């Protein structure tokens, strides 16, 4: 039996992993969140690994993801996204555990005109993106064998996310203004969860950095319009530019990622973002 530790298990990706875990009979899981395992505390991490060995895999879903708040709470973002990743990497090295780190498209500056590949230079423009990149580098410096999976615009039926925010606002407002000049790919967290668990079940040893999102691209305005169309929600929507909508943190104007590597190496097919959105909305 393969034993898998999941950190940040109460977040939306962690919840989605719990949802699909029952489809993987050869895996047993240890689900933890902050109260069970504070990844910012190196001793707590070491003690947890020792008490629960053997742990064959660790999926790190724990992260500071409040993009705007991170501009003010730099130290907190650093502790979780950098030190937390480092502590897990050190423990994984000591206890022979394979680390699977979840990262983000926000490591890029958004100036590209074509989908980013794994070899493209990272150049984050926000504290969130910078700390996630530093977390990646900490892992790479400690572990020769690891998986880092960058994803984008995660949503699901769990937790707080753009999709659920749009549905809530549609019930409380008559009209919405939504940014239409930031382009990326909405990604259903349950699709990502399945990819990660399949990677484990297949005992893949193609270690390294991967990009994963659903297929296609959209602006936040396109994403919102699709949510309202699929749910037959009537609300007045207006596209606006980033310059008209101030946020403390800068976002990449373009963060679409090329998935050729993960599709080839793991031999998977990836759903279009709109098809996955339909599947998710059926569960709401």
Which active-site residues does the annotation give? 128
DSSP reduced 3-state for 27: strand
Q: 239 near 180, Cβ under 8 Å?
A: yes
d(CA 101, CA 135): 9
Distance of CA 246 to the CA centre of its chain: 24
DSSP reduced 3-state for 130: helix
CB atoms within 10 A of CB 114: 9
H or E stretch at 135: helix 127-142
Tokens matching residue 130: 């910078």
Give which of 71, 276, 56 is closest to 145, Cα–Cα: 56
CA distances from 151 to 13, 104, 240 (A): 11, 5, 25
d(CA 94, CA 97): 8
CA distances from 63 to 4, 19, 51, 133, 272 (A): 18, 20, 23, 12, 26
Q: What are 118's strand-pairing partners?
A: none
């Amino acid at each position: 039996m393969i034993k898998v530790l999941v950190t940040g298990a109460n977040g939306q990706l962690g919840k989605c992993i719990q949802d699909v875990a029952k489809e993987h009979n050869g895996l047993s899981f240890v689900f933890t969140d902050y109260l069970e395992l504070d990844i910012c505390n190196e001793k707590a991490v070491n003690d947890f690994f020792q008490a629960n060995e053997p742990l064959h895999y660790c999926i790190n879903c724990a992260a500071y993801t409040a993009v705007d708040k991170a501009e003010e709470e730099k130290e907190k973002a650093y502790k979780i996204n950098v030190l937390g990743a480092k502590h897990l990497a050190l423990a994984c090295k000591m206890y022979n555990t394979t680390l699977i780190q979840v990262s983000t498209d926000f490591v890029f500056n958004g100036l590209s005109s074509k989908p980013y590949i794994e070899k493209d230079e990272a150049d984050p423009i926000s504290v969130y993106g910078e700390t996630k990149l530093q977390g990646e580098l900490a892992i790479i410096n400690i572990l020769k064998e690891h998986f880092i999976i960058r994803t984008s615009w995660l949503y699901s039926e769990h937790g707080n996310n753009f999709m659920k925010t749009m549905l809530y606002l549609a019930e409380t407002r008559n009209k919405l203004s939504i940014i239409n000049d930031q382009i990326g790919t909405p990604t259903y967290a349950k699709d990502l969860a399945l990819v990660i668990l399949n990677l484990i079940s297949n005992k893949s040893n193609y270690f390294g950095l991967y990009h994963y999102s659903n297929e296609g691209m959209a602006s936040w305005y396109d994403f919102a319009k699709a949510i309202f169309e699929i749910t037959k929600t009537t609300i007045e929507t207006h596209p606006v530019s980033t310059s008209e909508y101030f946020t403390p943190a800068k976002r990449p104007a373009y963060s679409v990622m090329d998935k050729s590597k993960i599709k080839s190496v793991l031999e998977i097919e990836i759903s279009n973002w709109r098809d996955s959105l339909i599947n998710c909305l059926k569960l709401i």
